Amino acid sequence: MKQGNILSRIAVLGLIGACLALLLTAPPLAQAQDPLPSWNEGPARQAIISFVQKVTDKSSPAYVPPAERLATFDQDGTLWVEHSLYAQAIFALDRVHELAAKHPEWKAEQPFKAVLANDREAMARFTEQDWAKIIGATHAGMSTEAFLQIVQDWLAHARDPRFKRPYTELVYQPMLEVMHYLRANGFKTYIVTGGGQEFVRVYSEQIYGVPPEQVVGSSIATRYEYQDGKPVLMRLPKVFFIDDKTGKPIGINLFIGKRPLAAFGNSGGDREMLEYTGAGPGARLMMLVLHDDQNREYAYGPAQGLPDTKVGTFSQALRDEAK
């Protein structure tokens, strides 16, 4: 069987479209009967509700005990807004500016020179190696605790250029409702992100209700050493694990040791996670978030024939397969 066939079989359940509202002001979750108040009526909403009913009803042949109820969510573009650059890439670029005084050599050295000159054209052409240099210079060389503090400080001050709000407020209300609904039905919800695990852990509990131990992401190596006589974990400029594409099922098995019952993604980086989820026995739910609302967020990707606007985004091919 070709890979494409598998995905068309497993991902046919749902495409979330046209229903994504940005949580620009966060309403409290409704106490009402409706578990998904922000969702339009339609097949995607219905697929979620009937899936949850099936796996939680003890008399159903598709019943799954609570310990096996696992749902995984991509973050960027699935739970919160991404556009052109991930929030974490913007964090890295901001850090280059902040650290420039200590690195006079960067004025003449790429890729730092382009960042410091705000040369958008050059930045748009950055290779993976360029980004690796930037990550190494901005995400390593400090203890894990110092890094946590740096991220917290950045999140408190950084603003999305269009919405002028903290990134932690630019989350999708419908997806928060799905997470809440699944947890209320005995699911454990995990974030499985190509982004940095320690970056996302800083705010995952506060904005998604997902504790640090339920965030699986990309990571750099750390070394156990002593600072002023106290043991610390020092972050090294060396990739340890990339939690993207085939890395997502690998990371899920490594960190969780169970196959998800439900998975939510939006881009080509989520393909294998959705496929791996769907290849398990019994009822499964796989969904893709489609970005077609240019007023309340960014419209990009194949929705309405719009071009992809970021590296590795949801490709037309993936949507065609899912259809």
Q: Does 212 bind a second copy (CB under 8 A)?
A: yes
Q: Does 257 bind a second copy (CB under 8 A)?
A: yes
- Residue 309: count of CB within 10 angstroms of its CB: 15
Q: What are phi and psi of 141, to 5 degrees?
A: 90, 10
**Cα separation, 177 vs 117, whole angstroms:** 42
# residues near a second copy by CB under 8 A: 40
Interface characters, 105-144, with a second copy (x: CB under 8 A): ---------------------------------------x
Q: How far is the CB of 163 from a second copy (least distance, A)?
A: 29
State which residue, 43 or 211, has the beta carbon closest to a second copy.
Answer: 211
Task: Find the helix or strand (DSSP H, E) in which 287 lies.
Answer: strand 285-289
Q: Does 275 bind a second copy (CB under 8 A)?
A: yes
Residue 85: partners with Cβ closer than 8 Å, 6 or more residues away: 93, 310
Contact by Cβ (8 Å): 263, 72: yes
**Cα separation, 313 vs 301, whole angstroms:** 7
Q: Does 74 bind a second copy (CB under 8 A)?
A: no
Among residues 58, 128, 156, 226, which is the contact residue for a second copy, using CB under 8 A? 226
Contact by Cβ (8 Å): 198, 148: yes
Q: How far is the CB of 288 from a second copy (least distance, A)?
A: 18
Q: Does 244 bind a second copy (CB under 8 A)?
A: no
Query: Up-side HSE of residue 140: CA atoms within 13 Å toward CB?
Result: 17
State which residue, 37 or 211, has the beta carbon closest to a second copy.
Answer: 211
Rg of the chain (C-alpha set) = 20
Q: Does 230 bind a second copy (CB under 8 A)?
A: yes
Q: Does 258 bind a second copy (CB under 8 A)?
A: yes
**Cα separation, 296 vs 132, whole angstroms:** 32
Query: Up-side HSE of residue 96: CA atoms within 13 Å toward CB?
Result: 26
Q: How far is the CB of 3 from a second copy (least distance, A)?
A: 7
Among residues 15, 179, 215, 261, which is the contact residue for a second copy, using CB under 8 A? 215
Residue type at 152 in one-letter notation: Q
**Cα separation, 207 vs 152, whole angstroms:** 13
Contact by Cβ (8 Å): 38, 167: no
Among residues 229, 295, 305, 307, which is the contact residue for a second copy, using CB under 8 A? 229
Residue 187: partners with Cβ closer than 8 Å, 6 or more residues away: 69, 70, 71, 261, 262
Q: Does 152 bind a second copy (CB under 8 A)?
A: no
State which residue, 38 or 267, has the beta carbon closest to a second copy.
Answer: 267
Provide the 3-class DSSP secondary structure of residue 255: helix
Of 51-59, 78-86, 204-212, 299-307, the segment contacting a second copy by CB under 8 A is: 204-212
Among residues 90, 122, 132, 256, which is the contact residue for a second copy, using CB under 8 A? 256
Q: Contact positions toward a second copy, by CB under 8 A?
A: 1-3, 5-6, 67, 144, 188, 197-198, 201, 205, 211-213, 215, 219, 222-224, 226, 228-231, 233, 240, 246, 249-250, 253-258, 272, 275-276, 279
